[in-house]
A and B are shown apart, each in its own frame.
Chain A
Amino acid sequence: MSTIRPRTKIKPPKKQDKTEKDFNTTWETLSNAIDEIFKRNSSKLSYEQLYRAQYVLVLWRMGAQLYDKTADKLRDVLSAIIKTRIMPLMSSSTDSSLFLQEILTVANEFSIAVRMISDIMIYCDRVYSKEARRPIISDMGLYMLRTYVLSVPEVQRYLFNCLLSQINEIRRGRSIDLHAFNAMIQFMQSLTVTSITPGGATQVSSYYEDEFEPEVVRASADYYSTIKDTLLQKHDASVYFAELDSTFKQEERDVFKLLAESTHPQLIATQDQIFFQENLEDVFNFSPVGLQHIISLFDYTSARLAYQFAGRVDLDRVSFKQHLYNAVYAECDSYKSVLVDPLPLVDDGTARTKVKTQETTHKAFIWIQKLVTYKRKLETLLEASFDNSNDVQATIDEAFISVINSTRRAPEFVSLYLDDGIRRSDKLPKEELSNIIETGLSMFKYLKDADLFQTYYQKHLAKRLLNQRVLTEADELLILKLKDLQGVTYAHSMLKMCDDVLISEVNKADFEKYQASNSMANGFSLSPLLLREPFWPTYLLDMTKREQIRFPDEVKELMERFEQFYRNEHDGRVLNWVAGLGSGEISTIINGRTYDIIAPTFGMVILLQFNDIEEDGYLTIDELEERTNIGQEDLSKHLLSMILPPRTRILRKEPMNSTISGTDRVFLNREFVSKQRKIRVALVTPKSGAKSNNEMAMNQAETEEEHENTLSKVNNARELAVDAAIIRVMKANKSMHHTALVMEVIRQLTRHFEPDVIIIKKRVEVLIDKDYLERSCEDASVYQYKA
């Protein structure tokens, strides 16, 4: 907007003629002087005379005419300059920098001249311009320059083409006359106009901002669009991002510095608009190389660019995160096939048997391992490409959570994974063990059914403790971590189980001292584990409690001695022997070689029966049952373990077959030979006929039936937990709306499992029925606690 007002001629009514005449002569003087100035003959001029001339004119109230005439004069001068100096250069044959130079020279000369004129017109500026609110003469001169040179359409068009083509040269990697270009940009910036906004604020805008900037943004948009069209045709997100990255870098390095800073954000916005706003989603979806593909390849560079670019148009990166989620979910989901598909055969013969017997366990292990490996890789990706963003981490976690929890048996598998690590803990390097614990725990954190994990962990821990008889550092560490994560109650039984093992150790030493001091050794030794029943998985103690087996006298004597010792120490405690969980070690000489046979307690008891049998004597099955009081099923299991597998064929049977009947005769196998001194008897499980190390030794995945069983037990515990939570909440609130109650109960329980709304509803009904709660008379959806 221009501040030059339309010419208003203020003409005093009197002395009009005379003044008119006087104006012309006086103006004549000034006009001639201006001509001289433009001819660079200013030295001839008398400053005093000229000053007086303009002074007089202003005094005569002829400032407006003076001002207008001066403006006309300047315009004429500029028109002449265009014709003589600029137009001739506007042809394709002229070097564009020559053209720029000439404009700058013209502008410079003109500015000097205008400054001189304004020096003369100082009184006009101070009195007239101020009064009439018109720009001072020097500003008016610049305005003239802007209007009658740079804004003349053909000049402007030529000038801009000139500048834009130079930018294009730069974009093509060629060099230009930077000096002329920069000077031109600066000059355009210096041509400012001041305008008043409708709000009343003063706004200064330059020719650069008003005229050139929109042009350069438009031209850049065209340039970017061309690039985009080419890139889109390649259907490759990786290429798209890489090319853009280099384009952006080049723009910033070469082009941005040519332009005013105010232009940079506009160009960046243009880039965002053209490359991302409309297309990013399409680019992410490119097939085959879209975002998911990039992530699955762990292409750090492309992934980083995708992350950066997504952030340019959406700070929350919603679409980016969705693709990431899908990629992670799909990858994790594909691992499920290892749980279903048959395992590949392992070349090593021994491994193959192992694989066969523990198929599910092994599959579970592979499954977790795959997840863990993938998670580690994602962590590297997160660091390398996604700035370790918490937000992105949360997306990855979400994908893991939903995949893992969609696998029904995940809690059991995670516990098995940890079990495997802990069992091998003395053979593993420290870092690897802590790695296993770390990853196991990170998988644990993804589980929604923490209570189910607790059940399995307890079960597996029990077996480890019973088998190894020591508390490993790894278990201790893990339990403490679980305690930190889930609270004291969660780890309570586990801690108590560990205590039992530690106390048993101390107790064993005391017992030995006791025996030594009373000289009661009989060639047998006993190291009982003292388990406090409430803390150990019930099935362990249940399974064997009913067995009242008859121990050989020597063992029995020892047991009684222990009971006596224990009673002395802890009066009033009840001891029950759970024979099925222990094992015994027997030294014997067969064929002149000494062997240490380690067998489950039942096996040991069976072997001991042969102590008082002559060299080639035998015992029938019935006799064995009678002597030991071991039930049929267990008896045959333990006998077969020492009859069938060649490595532990300590006994033989007539007839030699794999069934047990009452009249079968059992002999010690005099032919037994083994390279090893230590013979470990593994229990034959009649179902598969395959061997496992020892009933107590190895934790394995449950069969489907066992799993259902565990689930139903856990479900019962859950009902109790829901009941307790409802009562707790209602007791605190007295009266509560159904929805609020359900939400609060869920909130309190989610750390242990994800309660189902339907279950909560059912428990509420049960509690209403049992008169703990009632519905409010006013609103049946509000419950009241009945004290």
Chain B
Amino acid sequence: RFDFDNAMNAFLTDKTMSDQKQDKIIIEETFRKYSSDKEMDIDGIIAFISDLGLNVEDPIVLALSYCIKSSKIGAINKDEFVKGMLEIHCKTIDDLKHYLETVIKPNFTSTEDDSFFKEVYRFTFGFVKVGVQRALPLDTAVDYWRLLLVDRFQLTESWIEFSETQLKKDVSKDTWNMLYEFLKEYSSIEDLKSYDATAAWPSTIDKYVSYVLSEE
């Protein structure tokens, strides 16, 4: 089957298809260091991450997962891995380390432009969700809000407290996504006084605002 993305990559990077095949073999070799299977299991992942000099708890791991197109937490599919690595032009652990330092980290921690961070945040919902359920269990959601948002947005703790004590409900994708926009736009309780409940915010956020303001 003709793969447009690969063809385009090959053209742009001035690599022939055979070069690509070469790359693929190297990437597969890298993968095999951690798993002989089609899928890398949790032990393999832990080894892989520590080889990169990272801690599993580090939020940047989510960014890495996003970059290598990993579709779900706790396992890495070989095909996905190869495709992801090819896209970012990495073949070995060293390549990836370099990429991590020069591309992922600066973008992920950039204070001027949060677009990469936001993409990672949105990606996280699908990445950490298990099964066919549409919504994310609240405790999982809270873990990742803590991991990703607490340091970034002032109202995160207050939101988490509200969702644990008042809402007590799984988190929909829309709420997950819009929460980021909301926390970005409203950085203090004072700001919430100008909040418009008829605007397009999800109703869970409406509830949060009216709760916080009534507590005030």
Contact = CB atoms under 8 A, between A and B. Distances in A.
Interface in A744-775: 757-758, 761-762, 765, 768-769, 775
B109 to A, nearest CB: 23
B200 A757 contact: no
A765 B135 CA distance: 12
A762 B200 contact: no
A780 interface: yes
Given A758-B206, A769-B134, A781 B174 contact: no
A765 B203 contact: yes
Interface in B105-147: 134-135
A780 B206 contact: no
A780 to B, nearest CB: 6
B173 A769 contact: yes
A783 B199 CA distance: 12
Contacts of B199: 738-739, 781
A418 interface: no
Interface string B171-211: 01111011001000000000000000111101100100000
B73 to A, nearest CB: 22
Contacts of A757: 198
Contact of B174 (A738, A742, A775): A775
Contacts of A775: 174, 177-178, 200
Interface in A701-747: 738-739, 742
B179 to A, nearest CB: 11
A780 B178 contact: yes
Contacts of B206: 758, 761
Contacts of A769: 134-135, 172-174
Contacts of A783: 200
A738 B199 CA distance: 7
25 contacts: A738-B199, A739-B198, A739-B200, A742-B198, A758-B197, A758-B203, A758-B206, A761-B198, A765-B172, A765-B174, A765-B202, A765-B203, A768-B172, A768-B173, A769-B135, A769-B173, A769-B174, A775-B174, A775-B177, A775-B178, A780-B177, A780-B178, A780-B200, A781-B200, A783-B200
If over half of A's interface residues share one DSSP class (helix, strand or loop), that class is named, otherwise mixed; here it is: helix
* Chain A CB within 10 Å, residue with most, of B178, B200, B202: B200
A412 to B, nearest CB: 30
A456 B197 CA distance: 33
Given A775-B177, A780-B181, A738 B172 contact: no
A722 to B, nearest CB: 13
A758 B198 CA distance: 7
Contacts of A761: 198, 200, 202-203, 206
* Chain B CB within 10 Å, residue with most, of A739, A761, A775: A761
A393 to B, nearest CB: 32
B91 to A, nearest CB: 32
Report the 9 A-B pairs with minimum CB-CB distance, sorted nearest first: A738-B200, A781-B200, A768-B174, A769-B172, A762-B203, A757-B198, A765-B202, A761-B203, A780-B181
Contacts of B173: 768-769
Contacts of A765: 172, 174-175, 202-203
Determine the interface band of chain A, counting residues with CB < 8 A from chain B. Answer: 10 to 19
Given A761-B200, A768-B173, A769-B173, 16 more contacts: A739-B198, A739-B199, A742-B198, A758-B197, A761-B206, A765-B174, A765-B203, A768-B172, A769-B135, A769-B174, A775-B177, A775-B178, A780-B177, A780-B178, A780-B181, A781-B199
A634 B175 CA distance: 51
A597 B9 CA distance: 93
Nearest to B182: A780
A762 B175 CA distance: 12
* Chain A CB within 10 Å, residue with most, of B197, B203, B206: B203
A162 to B, nearest CB: 71
A769 B170 CA distance: 12
Contacts of B203: 758, 761-762, 765
Contacts of B178: 775, 780
A272 to B, nearest CB: 43
A317 B123 CA distance: 60
A411 B206 CA distance: 31
Nearest to B198: A757
B215 to A, nearest CB: 20
B141 to A, nearest CB: 15
Interface in B140-182: 172-175, 177-178, 181
Nearest to A773: B174
Nearest to A780: B181
A250 B134 CA distance: 82
A769 B203 CA distance: 13
Contacts of B181: 780
A154 B30 CA distance: 121
Nearest to A767: B174
A250 B162 CA distance: 75
B202 to A, nearest CB: 5
Nearest to A738: B200
Contacts of A742: 198
A529 B161 CA distance: 61
Interface in B68-103: none
Nearest to A757: B198
A62 B174 CA distance: 103
Contacts of A738: 199-200
A775 B202 CA distance: 11
A769 B133 CA distance: 11
A761 B174 CA distance: 12
Nearest to B197: A758
A765 B178 CA distance: 11
A765 B134 CA distance: 13
A277 to B, nearest CB: 40
Nearest to B181: A780
Nearest to A769: B172
A739 B172 CA distance: 22
Nearest to A771: B134
Contacts of A781: 199-200
A761 B199 CA distance: 9
* Chain A CB within 10 Å, residue with most, of B135, B173, B174, B175: B174
A768 B79 CA distance: 31
* Chain B CB within 10 Å, residue with most, of A742, A762, A769: A769
Contacts of B172: 765, 768-769
A751 to B, nearest CB: 22
A194 B173 CA distance: 84
Interface string A615-626: 000000000000
A742 B199 CA distance: 10
Contacts of A780: 177-178, 181, 200
A781 B200 CA distance: 5
* Chain B CB within 10 Å, residue with most, of A738, A739, A780: A780
B171 to A, nearest CB: 11
Contacts of B175: 765
Nearest to B172: A769
A765 B176 CA distance: 12
Contacts of A758: 197, 203, 206
A204 B197 CA distance: 66
Contacts of B200: 738-739, 761, 775, 780-781, 783
Contacts of B202: 761, 765
A761 B175 CA distance: 13
A389 B174 CA distance: 51
A780 B174 CA distance: 10
B19 to A, nearest CB: 34
A757 B196 CA distance: 12
B71 to A, nearest CB: 18
Contacts of B198: 739, 742, 757, 761
A761 B203 CA distance: 7
A761 B204 CA distance: 10
A739 B200 CA distance: 8
Interface string B13-51: 000000000000000000000000000000000000000
A775 B199 CA distance: 13
A698 B206 CA distance: 46
